[in-house]
Amino acid sequence: MKLSNDELILEAEKEIRLERESTLKIIKLFQEISARKIYLERGYPSFYEMVTKHFGYCAGSAMRRINAMKLVREMPQFEEKIETGELSLSVAADVQSFLYQEAKIERPYSINAKIELVETCLGKSRREVEQEFARRNPEREKRESQHAISNDRLRVSFSISKELNDKLNYLKDLLGHVDPSMTTEALLERLAELGLNKYDPQRVANRSQKRGEKKAKSQKSRENGKARETNPSSTSAAEVKRTRYIPAMEKAVIPDDGKGCTFVSETGRRCGSHRFLQRDHIRPFSRGGSNTADNLRWLCGEHNRARSCNWSH
Ligand SMILES: [Zn+2]
């Protein structure tokens, strides 16, 4: 490339204008894809998953585009500011996530207040915008943040109350016999295991399956010598009142491969999300579907909801 210095700058400026134009185009396409929930039929549990896994954006780029998309969906008058570069993707995304966090702590902004905030942030750097947020909500320092520091480590930062810190230290003392110099990470690991044993539906199901097998084994040994019954499960099932509740034994026999949501898209993509994973009746209970293993499968919260409102199998 034999360009003069001036020509190089002009060329770069031209390409940057085109880049901003296509950024806005992508954001508007994302709006439509997200509104039609196309990610669900393609086997993704969320639009974010589709943006990272299908379109190949890294986590940060995906979040910036999705947040900017939400901002201009609500305030389309700022679309042209993205195009001119007065509103960078990062700042648009930061403002959107600030507004989201404010709404979450019950400090919602009216539409006029939102517009005023975006206008205040036009042409500012991310650092200046962060200062603006801190001025509006000094409690912001309490918020949680995390970023990857290597492939398998994250730096997480959040502040906690003195009371919670005392509780954690007390718990570390109680566990002193296991590990006298327990780190907070090790403590959280133990707490996460305890929580998962209680709330992870797959672990609960695996446990009840093991219990069921044990029970069946001991019953079998008691019946040793007696004539074999033809089919004990069908007689007892007939006695049980029909109920939507999935009995523990049958919870257990749903194949559990530990790979999460079993929804598979037409293109053959399996969702695999563990978010709000729950058992689902393949033939709906309301249409006579049974609680037996062949009528049950695991679906994530999103696919379960989408299925119950507009899919029929
Ligand atoms: Zn799913």
- State the CATH number of the domain containing residue 289: 1.10.30
Q: How far is the CA of 32 from the centre of ligand 1 (A)?
A: 20
SS3 sequence, 6-23? HHHHHHHHHHHHHHHHHH
Domain extent at residue 99: 5-141
98 and 199 share one domain: no
Per-residue burial over 176-214, b = 16 or more CB atoms within 10 Å of its CB, e = otherwise: eeeeeebeeeebeeeeeeeeeeeeebbebbeebbeebee
| Residue 231 included in any domain | no
- pTM for the full model? 0.62
| Residue 158 included in any domain | no
Dist CA 197 CA 207 (whole Å): 9
207 and 275 share one domain: yes
Q: How many domains does the chain have?
A: 2
Given pLDDT bands bounded at 50, 70 and 90, which one contains residue 106?
A: confident
282 and 209 share one domain: yes
Q: How far is the CA of 92 from the centre of ligand 1 (A)?
A: 29
Dist CA 77 CA 62 (whole Å): 22
Q: How far is the CA of 282 from the centre of ligand 1 (A)?
A: 14
Q: How far is the CA of 186 from the centre of ligand 1 (A)?
A: 31
80 and 201 share one domain: no
pLDDT, tens digit, for every residue of 181-228?
889 999 999 999 999 999 888 888 888 888 888 888 888 887 775 544
Q: Is the model more confident about 122 or about 142?
A: 122
* Mean pLDDT rounded to a whole number for the chain: 85
| Residue 254 included in any domain | yes
125 and 32 share one domain: yes
196 and 102 share one domain: no
Dist CA 155 CA 146 (whole Å): 5
Dist CA 38 CA 63 (whole Å): 18
Dist CA 271 CA 269 (whole Å): 6
Beta bridge pairs of residue 281 = 296
Q: How far is the CA of 276 from the centre of ligand 1 (A)?
A: 9
pLDDT, tens digit, for every residue of 224-253?
755 444 444 444 444 456 666 665 545 545
Q: How far is the CA of 106 from the centre of ligand 1 (A)?
A: 30
Q: How far is the CA of 54 from the centre of ligand 1 (A)?
A: 15
29 and 134 share one domain: yes
